[in-house]
Amino acid sequence: MNNDKKIEAAIALKYDHSSAAAPTIVAKGKGDIAKQILALAKEHDIHVHQSPELLEVLIRLELGDEIPEALYRAIAEVIAFAYNLKK
């Protein structure tokens, strides 16, 4: 039996407080595209957060869209967690 989890979808966010009010969707995909997004994140030592609930909302957005205000707190917590991991 294969223990690898099936990767169904992935989203990549970028946040630059000097040029955007909120994090934006810079990549998204399903299947092989999702695997490529995750491989690039690993290659560049970028934190990967797994949350089916966030993914369900974010996958509906288009590339370049800012995250909805309703997700600010949840995404801020993920960013803060990732930032603290790098310290």
Interval 26-43: pLDDT, tens: 999 999 999 999 999 999
pTM reported for the whole predicted model: 0.81
Reported as a pLDDT band with limits 50, 70 and 90, residue 68 is: very high
pLDDT value of residue 82: 85
Is the confidence at residue 48, as pLDDT, over 70? Answer: yes
Higher pLDDT, residue 20 or 60: 60
Residues in the chain: 87
Q: Which residues are CB-neighbours of 67 under 8 A, at least 6 positions away?
A: 13, 22, 23, 24, 25, 58, 61, 75
Q: What angle do CA 65, 35, 26 make, to 5 degrees?
A: 15
pLDDT value of residue 2: 41
CATH of 9-85, one of 3.40.50.300, 3.30.930.10, 3.40.1690.10, 3.60.15.10: 3.40.1690.10
